Every structure is written in structure tokens, then in C-alpha cells.
Amino acid sequence: MQNRIGAGTTTPGQGPATAEVAVPEGAPSLPSRISWGAVFAGAVVAVAVGAMLNILGLAVGVSAIDAMVPGETPAAATFGIATGVWLLLANLIGLAVGGYVAARLSGTADDTDGVLHGLSVWAVAYLISAVLLGNVVAGTAGTAFQGVTTVLGGAARGAGVAVGETARALADETALDPRRVVERAHAALRGAGGDPAQMTSEQRNAEIAQILMRSATTAGPLPQADRDRLARLVAAEYNLSLEEAQARLQEAERQVAQTAGEAERLAREAADVAATGTAIAAYWIFAAMLLGAAAAVIGARIGTRNVRWILARRQAPAAPAV
């Protein structure tokens, strides 16, 4: 299917005539006006300029450290503020230069096209920075992990050798047999449930540990039967009356509950501080990206070519003499 576009012409002695030109349907009315080569060149320039300025800021910051003279080195808060400001300035300068380069290389003379080239540079530069930063972080983490694994592996092998030698020495000196250790544990637990006064100290401590472990792994308060049994075991172990043992257990439970409540409060405060810090950091990153887009647009607007239109006035030819 074709579209017909009329073009006005003039026929001598007649009015204006119309000529029809056939154009295929769906044909683009305007050619593409984006230069991806200019966009990528501007993005690379923006990243390079930003990295160069960041390296300069690192050099200036390290030079400000004076370990020989106490009090001459700026405080950590001052370093943090200066680092943030310098990172922002380096980002803005790099994006402005990249936007200028992209708009200039694109050859466009349209302000809107130049602005869109600047925004494209802003987006591509952030993508390149994210990829580079991700690779650096991943490489650093991998290297650190390998180093830690090597150190821990060597330490573990050394500890294993030392433990093996120590175990052999103890076995030679005391004739220590693992089966005897298991038998002693069974003997300690064999008296569980009996009269605490008739149990050995080892048996009482083993049953106390068993009840406490069951209390720690079970949700809710300790059953009354276990509380009574624990009070009798404590009373027999420490030569206390049953009332004194119960009072000690209540005090211990109160301290445990207080400690758990304090730990929960600290955990909630830490979570709130982390959430607040994350939100503030996200707002600052959003503001930095917004300012970066504005810098890229300003640079592109400056780099857009200016075209001067010269209008030539033609005079109509003189009428022939009759």
C-alpha cells in the first residue's frame, strides 16, 4: 500500500497543478539522529576523567596524613566529608566533559538531540562504572577469600599436627582410652532421675546441664516438674535449702530474661540504625545521579554545534522590453 504526497507546481497560463509521488507505507519520515559512537566515546571519557580526578583526590588525601606530628592529621569526620564532596565533584566534572564530547562528535546542531546524547552518556557511563566497580569488588573479595583460605588451611594443618602429637603424648603418659571417656559420661548420666542426695557431683552436674539445655532449646517457660527437679539438684550440689535453691533459680531466670530483653532491644536499635543509614545513603546516591544527569546535559548543551542560517534575498528578473 502506498501513500500519495502532493507537491504544488505551476503550469504557464494555468493555476497551480498537483504532482503525486508514491511513498511506501511505513517508511521512516526522519532518519536516525543518534550517534552511538559519540555516545560511547563520551561515556569512556567521562569514566576516565572521573577516575583521574578520584586518583588525584586520593593522592591529596594521603598527603594530608602526617603520622609524625600528633594533631596534624585531619579527623576521620573531616576526611569523610572531604571524600564525599570530592567524589561528587569528580563525578560531575567527568559527566560534563563526557556530555560535551558526545554532543560535539555527533555533529548535531539540534539542541534536543544534543541533550539526549548527554543523557545517553550519563546512562552508559553509570553502567560502565557499575561493571568496573563490580569486577574490582569481586576480584578483591576473591583474592581475600583465597588468602584467608590458605592461611586457615595452613593453620588447621598445623593445629591438626599439634593436636595429634599432644594426643599421642597424653595417651602415652596417662594411657587415655576414648572408651573410658564414654564410660564416664554414661556413668554420669546413669544416676539421672534418682535421689540428688545419693548422686555424685558429676551426676548432678550432668543432669543440671541436661535440664538447662532442654530449657534453652524449648520455647516457653520450663515445666514445673523440671523446675522442681532442678531446684533439688542445685540444693544438693551446693548444700542449700530447697527454698534457697528455688530463690537462686528465680534470680537466674530473671537475669536471663533481662539479658534476653536487652539483647533484643540492642538488636532492634541496630536494625533501625542500619535501615536509617541505608535510606540516607540511597537518597544521597539518587541526588548524585540526578546532579550527574544535569551535568551531562549541560556539557552536551555546550558541545552542541551552532549553525548560522544566512538568508539571501534574490531580486526578481526585470520584465523584457516590448
**Lowest-pLDDT range, 49-63, 115-129, 199-213, 290-304?**
199-213
Residue environment code for 174-199, b if the CB has 16+ CB neighbours within 10 A, otherwise e: eeeeeeeeeeeeeebeebeeeebeeb
Cα–Cα distance between 139 and 142 in angstroms, integer? Answer: 5
Question: What would the 3-class secondary structure string for the chain be?
Answer: CEEEEEEEEECCCCCEEEEEEEEECCCCCCCCCCCHHHHHHHHHHHHHHHHHHHHHHHHHHHHCCCCCCCCCCCCHHHHHHHHHHHHHHHHHHHHHHHHHHHHHHHCCCCHHHHHHHHHHHHHHHHHHHHHHHHHHHHHHHHHHHHHHHHHHHHHHHHHHHHHHHHHHHHHHHHCCCHHHHHHHHHHHHHCCCCCHHHCCHHHHHHHHHHHHHHHHHCCCCCCHHHHHHHHHHHHHHCCCCHHHHHHHHHHHHHHHHHHHHHHHHHHHHHHHHHHHHHHHHHHHHHHHHHHHHHHHHHHHHHHCCCCCCCCCCCCCCCCCCC
Q: Which of 19-23, 86-90, 226-230, 255-259 has the lowest mean pLDDT?
A: 19-23
Rg (CA), the chain: 41
pLDDT, position 98? 95
Residue-averaged pLDDT of the chain: 75
Whose cell is 530473671? That residue is: 254
Report pLDDT digits (tens) over 62-108: 888 776 767 667 777 787 888 889 989 999 999 999 999 999 999 88
**Adjacent-strand bridge partners of 17:** 9
Q: Evaluate the CA torsion angle 267, 270, 276, 280 in order and state its sign.
A: negative
CA quadruple 86, 89, 91, 97: dihedral positive or negative?
A: negative
pLDDT at 60: 87
First to last CA, the chain: 53
Q: Tell which residue, 36, 84, 121, 125, has the closest CA to residue 299.
A: 121
* pLDDT recorded at residue 247: 85
> Is the per-residue pLDDT at 117 higher than 80?
yes
Question: What's the CA gap between 40 and 207, in Å, rounded?
Answer: 73
Give the pLDDT confidence of 233-279 residue by residue, as tens digits. Answer: 888 888 888 888 888 888 887 887 788 888 889 999 999 999 998 99
Q: How far is CA 128 from the centre of its chain?
A: 17
Alpha-carbon distance 145 to 142, whole Å? 5
What is the number of alpha carbons within 13 Å of residue 258 lying toward its C-beta? 6
Cell of 261: 530483653
Provide the pLDDT confidence category of residue 116 given band limits of 50, 70 and 90: very high
Amino acid at 233: L
pLDDT confidence of residue 7: 47
